[in-house]
Structure 1
Amino acid sequence: MQIHTITRFFWFCSGAHVPLLKRLPTETNKYVGIGGTVFFTGLFASLAAGYALYTVFDSLLIASIFGLVWGLMIFNLDRFIVSSMRKRNKAWSEWKMAFPRLVFAVLLAIVISRPLELKIFEKEINRKLDEKKMEMIAQSKLAIDKGFPEIQSLEAKKDSIQAETEKAIAFRDKLQQEYDFERFGTKTDGTSGIVGLGSNARKKEQQLDAAQKELDGTRLSNQARIDTLEAEISRLMAFREAEFLKRAPQIESFDGLAACLDSLYALTQESEAIKWANYFILLLFIALETAPIFVKLISPRGPYDEVLELREENVQVYVKEQSFKTKKRSERNIQLFESEVFS
């Protein structure tokens, strides 16, 4: 009973007329194969579409519903295509009739193959997305920095003040060295070379004390200015950081379907292996999507096709007979009507 139920289901998937197939047991396996191909093509389409929507909405429920609807649509379309193709031992006419369907099947294959390609190359795509995010972060920081030129100006002022302090320290250190040389009798262009605290040493000491006093004043004044500048720099940097934090979520969410497709394209340009793997995956899905049509095209004409054509011809003959009878009846009625009117 289980096998019989599965057989009937695949017959339904093939679009065949079940009561007619029951009378032709030799055709059972043929249409089970055609129906199975149609069914699994729809199943693969459903899985691919569901994954594509999951990457967009990140919702399992939405992805499942849309994937089911998409799979049913593809299933119904393939079933219609296969059931509408007739085997009449005219290969060229059959291929000509199937050509538009094959083109449409290829387009569908391209659409449904993309999501699964994204899944197959997920790790490589994530790595590429991380690189892109880092690049976007760097560009964003650079753009934000350009929007706060005051920070660089204040940093330059701070460096200038610090240079002024360092210059005063260097001058003090120079006087300290001259004072030490004078005390210890080291002969230079600016010292006497006499050991001890003589008049020259005291004069050097006074100059050193004045330089130290001036340095202390400069340090105190400059530190106050530096503190003011640093406070302003900290305030502007806080604004800059807040501006970056506003953009950060947009950068972090840069992992949608379009971004993944762009990353996959970039990977195919960088790696020959990925490019060829991408081509073969696409060809595989084209083969899967066009399989129902090719199965119907390559299947030989059998008893089912003979009986079906006979029934269709019987219907055509019956329609012609009824049309001829109706036409003759109408002509006879017109003649009777004319004879009554003109008699």
Structure 2
Amino acid sequence: MLKQFFILCSGADKNLLEGCSEGEQTKFAGIGATVFFTAVMAFIASAYALFTVFDSIYPAIAFGVVWGLLIFNLDRFIVSTIRKRDSFSAEFLQATPRIILAVIIAIVISKPLEIKIFQKEIDTVLLKEKNAMALANKKQVATYFQTDLDKNKAQTDSLKSEISRKEKEVNALYETYIAEAEGTKGTMKLGKGPVFKEKIAKHDLAKSELDALRKTNEAKIAENDQKAKTLQADLDKKVTDTQPIIDGFDGLMARINALNKLPWLPSFFIMLLFLAIETAPIIAKLMSPKGEYDFKLEDLETALHATISQDKYQRNLLAKTSAEMHDRVYADIAQDNELYNLQRSKAKELLELQANGFVEKQKKTL
């Protein structure tokens, strides 16, 4: 039963092959098996390729089945239409379009399986690219918010600097009136005299101004700090929102690009393997010797061609003979005087009727 199935896959004439030897049937069963397993490999490769695109097994399997059947039908058709000839170059020329197509298909279906085989290496390349993209994205988002952050920080620093300057001023006045009281500076008199009172009054005034300034600026600094937290939260949210896009950067095209960054030699040999698999049905047909089945098929085709050529010749000859006979019959009729006189009288009668009708029309127009 399995042998009959593979013979069916080969596209051979089952009835014609049944009359051939066991070896001839085995040869075509082998060709059919090559066609079948090529379609199976095409199904696996295309299904995996679609799985990496849709992340769903059902559309991947559905498309894989369609693609496998397409390759199966194509290979079966090509193999069944290749005729064994006396010249290998003529057979190869006949198979050239299929070989070119096989190269294209091999390149297409080998990539998904290469991606699966080198998955760990590709994941490493993608991880490096994702990390680089994440850093670049964070830098880009930070640059977008940097102007507002810098402006806010500058305002806060300015407010803090203003408080610091006022504190230095108050401290300087404090040291001045203390020194005046101790008699180490100013009037150089020990005690709390009029100058001391004047200087402490200035200190107290500056101290009250410092308190008011600190209260006002600290409120503004708190507001700026809150604004800075909001900006930072927005920055972090922007980075968080864009991170899933970076994490999802592992589609088919990304993996193909990552595969191209790996050493080319292993991928090249895998592609050659699939090229051999894709061209296997054609090569098997080309390399197989001209056998009993081919001779019988050639005999049937030449016999049919001869019959059709003979029928065509006979039809042409029949048409030519019939035409010659009709020419002779009508030539003889043309010499018959009785028929001539009858035709002459009828023509004369017709001309008279036409002339009378023309006269009647002319009268009506007058």
TM-score by length of 2: 0.77
Further displaced range: 120-129 or 290-299: 120-129
Distance (Å, rounded) in 1 between the aligned partners of 2:284 and 2:177: 105
- Residue aligning to 2:235: 240
- Residue aligning to 2:93: 96
The question of 1:327 aligning with 2:316 is answered yes
Distance (Å, rounded) in 2 between the aligned partners of 1:107 and 1:300: 28
- Give the C-alpha shift of residue 84 in structure 1: 1.2
- Residue aligning to 1:134: 131
- Residue aligning to 1:64: 61
The question of 1:13 aligning with 2:9 is answered yes
Change (3 A) 1:88 1:228: same
Change (3 A) 1:305 1:129: same
Long gaps (5+) in structure 1: 183-188, 191-200, 269-274
- After superposition, what is the alpha-carbon deviation per residue over 1:142-196, rounded to whole angstroms, capped at 9, x for unaligned? 33333332122112222343445556667788999999999xxxxxx98xxxxxx
- Give the C-alpha shift of residue 211 in structure 1: 8.0
**Count of matched residue positions in the alignment of Structure 1 and Structure 2:** 330
The question of 1:23 aligning with 2:19 is answered yes
- After superposition, what is the alpha-carbon deviation per residue over 1:183-210, rounded to whole angstroms, capped at 9, x for unaligned? xxxxxx98xxxxxxxxxx9999999988
Change (3 A) 1:180 1:46: farther
The question of 1:35 aligning with 2:32 is answered yes
- Give the C-alpha shift of residue 289 in structure 1: 0.6
Distance (Å, rounded) in 1 between the aligned partners of 2:50 and 2:79: 28
- After superposition, what is the alpha-carbon deviation per residue over 1:29-73, rounded to whole angstroms, capped at 9, x for unaligned? 211111111111111001111111111111211111100000000
Distance (Å, rounded) in 2 between the aligned partners of 1:75 and 1:214: 93
Change (3 A) 1:48 1:180: farther
- Give the match's secondary structure for 2:83: coil
- Give the match's secondary structure for 1:147: helix
Distance (Å, rounded) in 2 between the aligned partners of 1:262 and 1:180: 77
Distance (Å, rounded) in 2 between the aligned partners of 1:172 and 1:71: 89
Distance (Å, rounded) in 2 between the aligned partners of 1:266 and 1:170: 63
Distance (Å, rounded) in 2 between the aligned partners of 1:83 and 1:174: 107
Distance (Å, rounded) in 2 between the aligned partners of 1:290 and 1:46: 16
Distance (Å, rounded) in 2 between the aligned partners of 1:234 and 1:96: 74
- Give the C-alpha shift of residue 339 in structure 1: 2.0
The question of 1:294 aligning with 2:283 is answered yes
**105, 111, 115: which one aligns with 2:112:** 115
- Give the match's secondary structure for 1:332: helix
- Give the match's secondary structure for 1:88: coil
The question of 1:145 aligning with 2:142 is answered yes
Further displaced range: 205-214 or 292-301: 205-214
- Residue aligning to 1:195: none
Note the aligned Cα RMSD (angstroms). Answer: 3.5
Distance (Å, rounded) in 1 between the aligned partners of 2:27 and 2:197: 119
- Give the C-alpha shift of residue 123 in structure 1: 1.8
- Give the match's secondary structure for 1:236: helix
- Residue aligning to 1:272: none
The question of 1:44 aligning with 2:41 is answered yes
**218, 239, 259: which one aligns with 1:223:** 218
- Residue aligning to 2:80: 83
Further displaced range: 207-216 or 281-290: 207-216
Letter in 1 for 2:153: E
Change (3 A) 1:175 1:278: farther
Distance (Å, rounded) in 1 between the aligned partners of 2:171 and 2:117: 69
- Give the match's secondary structure for 1:267: coil
Letter in 1 for 2:86: N
Identity %: 38
The question of 1:312 aligning with 2:294 is answered no
Bigger CA radius of gyration: 2
Change (3 A) 1:298 1:204: farther
- Give the C-alpha shift of residue 216 in structure 1: 5.1
- Give the match's secondary structure for 1:11: helix
Letter in 1 for 2:281: P
